Structure 1
Amino acid sequence: MNNSRNLRDSDIQKKIDHEIRMRDGACKLLAACSQRDQALEAAKSLQTCSTRIMAYMSELQRMKEAQVMQNVPRRSSDAGPMDDRLPCKGKVAISDLRIPLMWKDTEYFKNKGELHRCAVFCLLQLGGEIFDTDMVIVDRTLTDICFDNTIVFNEASPGFELRVELYSCCSEDDYSAGSTPRKLASKLSSSLGRSAGKKLRAAMEPGACSPVSNGGAAPLLLPVPSVPGPKYHLLAHTTLSLSHVQDSFRTHDLTISGNEECSYWLPLYGSMCCRLAVQPRCMTQQMMGGWLKVKQCGGDPQTWTKVYAILKATSLFCYQRQEDVEANVEPALTIGINKETRIRASEKDPLSKGQNICISNRYGGEEVTHTLNTESREDTHHWMEAFWQHFYDMSQWKQCCDDLMKIELPSPRKPAPITPKQGSLYHEMAPLSTPSCEGLLLQDNAVSAEIRALLSSYYSDR
């Protein structure tokens, strides 16, 4: 058990170390960008890495606290009836993400006013898993923010909380390397006066990824980015749980941050549309399998048929041969196993070495009972335990076990052609052997090689 905990701790620590390297690479990349699209992508990577680091650190802290609690001896008065049964895990998939916009009539229909344009993307977090969508440029020509990504979380529990965060950044500012803090400092210093302005400009000359500080003194508490370049802000968020799952396209409420005075503001309706599907493992995987004897309903009580039974989803599938399972042969008999099914183990059959299991279902007001026979009491115990676990999984996953929901798995991303207009700065930097290095402010070949290596690792991991 301790070895397993240590392996999990080590695995999370490796993830943290990896994201820290990616974050440092994103900082260097952001400092090197002179083109708007590149800077927006780099800032998006920086935001994603920072969020992952915080999530992994929180998960590591929870694990440490759980270990401490397990080592604390319990008092006898604390002991009580406790059910150690745990529900199975499952897949949670979110797709067809749409966020409607509410432009003013003069903006959308009459095309008047300044063309406000923002870069937006979503971060989706469930437990320790965090995914990001593609970046989308939004202006008044769009009525909806649409994300085509299908994101699948593979290790969800019935009590999952899927947090969806929408980040936005004004894409119209000048994102030349180091320009943003200096421009802000210049504007502030002109209003604060010569003396205070001079101190402010000195405080706003940070190194890459370093916090803004005033010559080693207390940090200057101003809402400025610690890295030159664009900065994404949380525009809206929501949390989805099991109660929101329905095998259809549904609307969910959003909590909106910011207001019209913010540069990253977009006129949201306050809702988000998506398809949220769940596949518990009890619905997709074999939960129990083995040889049984089945007594035909209404037939000769002495007649038993030997079958290979598989407990999966809402049925007990009975095959004539074990090979038929892998060959996808139609089962010889299917017995319903759902929330309304009643199962009991009967007394030992005097004419058999094993023990009978009775499965009762109601069909059209009539009760139908199938009787199964096992080889031994031990087999009976294993099957009954599998049935109870199956019922428990169904009770926890609720509507997700009525029918198997369909999850359209995302197709693998096709590598984009390497062109100067490619949005990824990694692809822009790859052919640096050529004399032209337009748009990049890289002074050191060693630094550029390091950034290329970091970006290569980042894009290969996605």
Structure 2
Amino acid sequence: MSHDILMKLCSVLKFLFLGRGLWVRVTILRREAGKEMDAMPQCQDSDIQKKIDHEIRMRDGACKLLAACSQRDQALEAAKSLQTCSTRIMAYMSELQRMKEAQVMQNVPRRSSDAGPMDDRLPCKGKVAISDLRIPLMWKDTEYFKNKGELHRCAVFCLLQLGGEIFDTDMVIVDRTLTDICFDNTIAFNEASPGFELRIELYSCCSEDDYSAGSTPRKLASKLSSSLGRSAGKKLRAAMEPGACSPVSNGGAAPLLLPVPSVPGPKYHLLAHTTLSLSHVQDSFRTHDLTILGNEECSYWLPLYGSMCCRLAAQPHCMTQQMMGGWLKVKQCGGDPQTWTKVYAILKATSLFCYQRQEDVEANVEPALTIGINKETRIRASEKDPLSKGQNICISNRYGGEEVTHTLNTESREDTHHWMEAFWQHFYDMSQWKQCCDDLMKIELPSPRKPAPVTPKQGSLYHEMAPLSTPSCEGLLLQDNAVSAEIRALLSSYYNDSY
């Protein structure tokens, strides 16, 4: 088969298989044709792989910890960490897959008719923050007001995912004494695009069962082994001993990455979810619909109204960062043609700030002149001014019923091109981020968390871990029955990286 035929076959099969995640076959065909695909940028590949390796270590530590827990709260926290790590692993693997698919598409030869528009302008990134998450509950009158019936209690938390970033909220214990599930966390995603999709998942786990997951199977195995005899009992103990978090590993090969490894102990279930986008961003609290899963027969069930309330704010980089800066000459239209003022101009948010000196920008000095730059502003480059060496840029705004025009003068046509390109990019960013560019939305992030004090009822699982009393957990416990140094190191690293 000739080289050209193989290359064409490669392109066809690539489009057929890409949507099904079979991009590996394309690589094989490329190699057969004697031309391998370009490698993904090494730094990005390495960063994502490091994240995956880190979460795998954290997941393994959470599995070992879950198997060693003897208290209910400890087991619930460990199961929460396990669910979070597993979700992050799957998200990072999907991100790695998307990067490889994008690399494949870059190597696909396009016909001239498929070239698309010449302007491949991309919008700026931005920060998206969600805060004050509230989920109302709908208890029956007999449960909430008359306090009748069985006290149903669940542990719940939220996972929030935007692109390859995943964050978790604190765990909350919910029963009929609460009217709302409240999460006080403020979570920010720093590299969101205007087409972002923020997925919010509510996980629930019944907390009424005895979650001494680490000791119960061993105790049961010990009792059965004494009744069955030494040989049969030894086999039973080996079968009931909780293994590593990953499934089977063949000859030291990489473990299978399942979403949630099978480990004895509590299991969280997806109770409800929703997806928020740019249209939901508003500088106030809003109510959003939830998609509820499960029913009253599920042990993790909670009576949700089917809605959630939160504040979703966004700050595009064009509203918070300097998009362009440089020296200009400015005059107001209708003034003396010979009167020009040299200023250092900064394009940021909805204004062009003009300072007398460049040092005034860092010193936070009030600008000498502010020219509005918004969605209604009109900008054009005029012909070369015969009285000046540069080229003029006219900026027109309407204030009330009157049009006000400011004229800027650059040193050269090249400077004019750079400024005009910055203005067009700024207008494009505003058109993509829409209402987020009307005014700068306020995002208040909490100060970094401090280590929780060691108290019987508060603090993270790492800081609360109590000594265990089961002497048969070799490899997990130290001589003083504390959690092994390995698990403590993993948890310490996890909490430090998270905060």
State the TM-score, normalized to the length of structure 1.
0.89
CA apart distance, 1:426: 2.0
Q: Secondary structure at the match of 2:40?
A: helix
Deviations 1:285-336 (A, max 9, x none): 1100111111124321221111111100000011111111111111111111
- Report if the CA contact (8 A) 1:179-1:228 is conserved: no
- Report if the CA contact (8 A) 1:206-1:212 is conserved: no
- The number of residue pairs the alignment matches comes to 461
Match for residue 259 of structure 2? 223
Deviations 1:101-148 (A, max 9, x none): 000000000000111000000000000110000000000000000000
- Report if the CA contact (8 A) 2:392-2:409 is conserved: yes
CA distance in 2, matches of 1:429, 1:210: 24
Change in CA separation of 1:188 and 1:46 when aligned onto 2, cut-off 3 Å: farther
- Report if the CA contact (8 A) 2:127-2:189 is conserved: yes
Q: Secondary structure at the match of 1:405?
A: coil
CA distance in 1, matches of 2:400, 2:227: 81
- Report if the CA contact (8 A) 2:319-2:349 is conserved: yes
CA distance in 1, matches of 2:225, 2:74: 29
CA apart distance, 1:212: 9.8
Mean alpha-carbon deviation: is it higher for 178-187 or for 394-403? Answer: 178-187
CA apart distance, 1:192: 21
CA apart distance, 1:427: 1.9
Confirm or deny that 1:320 pairs with 2:333: no
State the TM-score, normalized to the length of structure 2.
0.82
CA distance in 2, matches of 1:221, 1:374: 58
Mean alpha-carbon deviation: is it higher for 442-451 or for 151-160? Answer: 442-451
CA distance in 2, matches of 1:192, 1:345: 92
Structure 2 counterparts to residues 272-421 of structure 1, below 5 A: 272-421=308-457
State the superposition RMSD in angstroms: 5.0
CA apart distance, 1:207: 2.1
Q: Which runs of 5+ in 1 are unaligned?
A: none
Change in CA separation of 1:153 and 1:183 when aligned onto 2, cut-off 3 Å: farther
Deviations 1:396-431 (A, max 9, x none): 000000000000112111211224544433224599
Change in CA separation of 1:440 and 1:403 when aligned onto 2, cut-off 3 Å: same
- Report if the CA contact (8 A) 1:430-1:452 is conserved: no
Match for residue 172 of structure 1? 208
CA distance in 2, matches of 1:437, 1:186: 13
Q: Which runs of 4+ in 1 moved over 4 A?
A: 1-4, 178-206, 210-225, 420-423, 429-447
CA apart distance, 1:20: 0.2
Change in CA separation of 1:197 and 1:368 when aligned onto 2, cut-off 3 Å: farther
CA distance in 2, matches of 1:184, 1:222: 28
- Report if the CA contact (8 A) 1:93-1:278 is conserved: yes
Deviations 1:151-170 (A, max 9, x none): 00000000000000000001
Q: Which runs of 5+ in 2 are unaligned?
A: 1-36
- Report if the CA contact (8 A) 2:476-2:484 is conserved: no
Confirm or deny that 1:26 pairs with 2:62: yes
- Report if the CA contact (8 A) 1:203-1:220 is conserved: no
- Report if the CA contact (8 A) 1:100-1:144 is conserved: yes
Deviations 1:187-233 (A, max 9, x none): 99999999999999998765232559999999999999710100100
Confirm or deny that 1:157 pairs with 2:193: yes
- Report if the CA contact (8 A) 1:102-1:143 is conserved: yes
CA distance in 1, matches of 2:268, 2:249: 21
Deviations 1:240-262 (A, max 9, x none): 00000110000000000110000
Q: Secondary structure at the match of 2:483?
A: helix
- Report if the CA contact (8 A) 1:420-1:428 is conserved: yes
CA apart distance, 1:80: 3.5
- Percent identity for Structure 1 against Structure 2: 97
CA distance in 2, matches of 1:72, 1:104: 60
